[in-house]
Amino acid sequence: MMEFAILTFVLTVLDVGITIWAVLYARKAHHRIDSTWDYLMRRAMAEGLIKGLATMNSPMIITDEVRGWYAPFATELREWYRRSGRYRTEREMFEDVNTMFGSKFLDKICIEHNLQAGFCIAAAIEIARST
Q: Where are the domains of the chain?
A: 40-129
pTM over 0.85: no
Please answer whether residues 100 and 80 qualify as being in contact, where contact means their C-beta atoms are separated by less than 8 angstroms.
Answer: yes
Taking the C-alpha atoms of residue 120 and residue 126, their distance in angstroms, rounded to an integer, is 10
Q: List the pLDDT tens digit at each of the 131 positions of the chain.
A: 667 666 575 557 556 667 776 666 667 766 677 777 777 777 777 788 888 888 877 677 899 999 999 999 999 999 999 988 677 788 888 888 888 898 888 888 988 888 887 888 889 988 998 86
- Whether residue 52 contacts residue 64, with contact meaning beta carbons closer than 8 Å, is answered with no
- C-beta of residue 105 within 8 angstroms of C-beta of residue 41: no
- 61 beta partners: 55
